[in-house]
Chains A and B, each alone.
Chain A
Amino acid sequence: MGSGGVQFFFEFTERDLLILAEGAKLTLIISSLAIVGGTILGGLFGWLLSIGGRVGAITLGWVLDIFRSVPPIVQLVLFVNFFPIIGFPLDAAEAGTLVLMMYCSALVAQVARAGIEAVPKTTRWAGRSLGMSYWQDLRYVVLPIGLRAVLPSWTGVALGVLKDSALVSVLKAGELMQVSQEMITRTQQPFLILGIAGLFYFALSFPIARLTEHLERRWQHD
């Protein structure tokens, strides 16, 4: 950073950087929980969709479609007002995490279903014909083949959820985006602060991208 910039910095202190880092930490917690929980739930939902036939598509599929197609920001505002009504007074971060998790699970469900359906019937039958149980076939044949098929889609979902966690700022949860916005109001330094926030988001998404890259390299046999 050039010395000419110093005068713009005088209101932005080291303490502010720490505050942003705190916000980033909360963003990390919210989005990790949402992604991990949403992936597990979504995997389960995807499996249910794949075996559920028409009944599954109408019931579960319909519910997931709602989570998938209503903008997450609308869900956030609706649900943060809804939880207290049904007797669960959640704080903003908790409500945001839950909503993001459901949103993530609805997206992952479609990915997981596609992964399961990417495994040809006769490949599964090959496993069963060797005496594998339904669960062994799922674990040793469908899971590894399906994962490889949908890893790029899953990565897209995970990165999307991380970015959508910025929407939790409307609930005043104290995560990175909200902290940044408040700081901008106070310091009037939007470019600097958003630049730093952007770097934090990039740093948070880095492990996801690296994980994908690592798995893809490990799975590449050609």
Chain B
Amino acid sequence: MIEITDLQKSYGNLEVLRGINLTVRRGEVISIIGASGSGKSTLLYCVNGLETIQGGKIEVDGIDVHARGTDLNKLRQRLGMVFQQWNAFPHLTALENVALAPRIVRGLSKADSRAVAEKQLVHVGLGDKLEVYPSKLSGGQQQRLAIARALAMEPDYMLFDEATSALDPELVGEVLDTIRLLAEEGMTMIVVTHEMGFARDVSDKVAYFDEGQVEEIGPPDQIFGAPHSEKTKRFLAKVR
């Protein structure tokens, strides 16, 4: 379970997250929607400790992410993350991209790490691209590579930060299908997205972010069908 309590995050004077409360139970898929700059990416960075926080608390299975003694390197192995920007390691083939962390972080042998990598690349539909360098992959393939790379650490949670926002429209579907596949397999996920139809399909809950606060959270039918908040209504009217 990921439990976020009264989370505060600022960059200098800019308050980006202003008292976020959010709980993600095992097996749940929570989508986060909201305008650009509302703090969605920042929240994910805070959840796996890439950014420091100024107040509140984030616990992952009872471990306080930002406590002094927390071994972040160990904790992050359980929190897979896929970023908005494509960031495959350009100097490594697809297989090496995925095999690297299992080998140097999990300590698997070279052969085992490659086996794990191949399995995950097949999983995301890149079984025929093992020896290809990222520069030869489309954006959609690069994002699926990033998903495979995260999965190879066998995480308990996956955090997706607008994995499709930098993609050409025709490539969005293949990435969403991969995320949907993970949802069907029971992966616990926080999915930041601006694909409203996808969020409606795949989520157990949808949270609408507005200026660093959770304006409204509820089942997809509530958020997309009958939102309680005027702000949510206005946002959805704009993006549809």
Contact = CB atoms under 8 A, between A and B. Distances in A.
Interface stretch (A60-68, A125-133, A156-164, A204-212): A125-133
Contacts of B100: 130, 140
B84 to A, nearest CB: 8
Interface residues of A, dominant DSSP:
helix
A132 B105 contact: yes
Interface stretch (B14-22, B87-95, B171-179, B197-205): B87-95
Contacts, number: 70
- How many B residues touch the partner, as a band? 20 to 34
Contact of A120 (B79, B85, B101, B153): B85
B87 A130 contact: no
B13 interface: no
A90 interface: no
Interface residues of A, number: 21
Given A131-B153, A221-B136, 8 more contacts: A125-B87, A127-B89, A128-B73, A129-B50, A140-B89, A144-B89, A145-B91, A221-B133
Interface of A: 120, 122-123, 125-133, 136, 140-141, 144-145, 148, 219, 221-222
**Which 7 pairs, one residue from A and one from B, show the smallest C-beta to C-beta distance?**
A130-B101, A131-B77, A221-B133, A129-B81, A123-B87, A131-B105, A126-B87
Interface of B: 45, 48, 50, 73-74, 76-77, 79-81, 83-85, 87, 89-91, 100-101, 104-106, 133, 135-136, 146, 149-150, 153
